[in-house]
Homo-oligomer: A and B are copies of this chain.
Amino acid sequence: MKLLEVIKSLSNQTRLDILTWLKDPFAYFAAEELDDYKPSLGVCVSDIAKKAKMSIPTVSVYLKNMAAADLLVATRKDQWTYYKRNEAAIQQLASLIKDSL
């Protein structure tokens, strides 16, 4: 785990929020958008952009960045890209801070 890369990818309020939203999609996204929500896939880019009230390209890049830092996992299915949290990486970050920072 590249600590600096991970931390940088968390150093923005919107990106922190996205992690929170993806932790419990039903609590944060409109029901219509979760009609066929699958935990194994996550939520697609445009739904996240809508929730963030930001442009799709901006959010697309954020998500890609967070996936590169391994905080999210991307799955392309048909024309959608779904993102979900990488819980193991988040726990690994917590341990790294706890024990090695």
In the bound assembly, the distance between CA atoms of A12 and B8 in angstroms comes to: 8
Which residues on B sit within 8 Å (CB–CB) of A7?
Answer: 7, 10-11, 16
B-contact 0/1 string along A1-42, CB 8 Å cutoff = 001100110111100100110010000000000000000000
What interface size band does chain A fall in?
Answer: 20 to 34
Instruction: Decide yes or no whether A79 CB sits under 8 A from chain B.
Output: no
Copy number in this complex? Answer: 2
Shortest Cβ gap from A16 to chain B (Å)? 6
Q: Do residues A11 and B13 form an inter-chain contact, with CB atoms below 8 A?
A: no
Q: List 28 A-B contacts (CB under 8 A).
A: A3-B16, A4-B11, A4-B12, A4-B13, A4-B16, A7-B7, A7-B10, A7-B11, A7-B16, A8-B11, A10-B11, A11-B11, A16-B101, A19-B101, A20-B101, A23-B101, A90-B97, A90-B98, A90-B101, A91-B98, A93-B97, A94-B94, A94-B97, A94-B98, A94-B101, A95-B98, A97-B97, A98-B98
